[in-house]
Amino acid sequence: MLGWIPMARDLLRHTLATLAYRSQKTIRGAPEGFAAYRISPTSRTPVEILAHMADLFDWAISLARGKAAWSPIPAASWDETAARYTEALRAFDAVLESDAPLGASEEKLFQGPIADALTHTGQLALLRRACGDPVRGENYFVARIGAGTLGADQPAAVREFE
């Protein structure tokens, strides 16, 4: 039996919540200096990656509204950039939750901005480990993740690894 088969928008909203759960874990409690940590001379810093992630969801909103626009905003402080990222996630989620027709297919919205942000979340986790402050792994299958939960106030981990 296949169980509940979500509509495409429902699945995208759950994907955003999953992204938020994982990315907020990499953002919360970042050590002093992490925002400016640079693993190589040509790599982005964590705060630049986070600003790019916020830009991705501003772009996703424009795509969903049928008016594709890429307008990157330079990184600010870690806290300001994290707040902008969270707000961009919430704004995109609101577009998906609405009944308004989408100006881009759900598949394209996933394969572009959402998948890119998932990749960057992994980069942030790797950078946390590289700078000596790893994010604790956990069994994400049992995590309490639900559509619309997008901010730093994520549910506590159910089963983190030792």
Residue range 25-77, pLDDT digits in tens: 999 999 999 999 999 999 999 999 999 999 999 999 999 999 999 999 999 99
Q: What is the DSSP letter of 45?
A: P
Distance (Å, rounded) from C-alpha 35 to C-alpha 38?
9
Beta carbons of 149 and 93 less than 8 angstroms apart: no
Domain ranges of the chain: 8-142
pLDDT of residue 155: 75
Positive or negative, the Cα torsion across 140, 58, 43, 154? negative
The owner of tokens 């989408």 is 102
Positive or negative, the Cα torsion across 7, 13, 17, 22? positive
Query: What is the phi/psi pair of residue 160, to 5°?
Result: -85, 155
Distance (Å, rounded) from C-alpha 137 to C-alpha 125?
10
Residue range 79-112, pLDDT digits in tens: 999 999 999 999 999 999 998 999 999 999 999 9
Query: What is the topology classification, in CATH, of domain 8-142?
Result: Four Helix Bundle (Hemerythrin (Met), subunit A) (1.20.120)
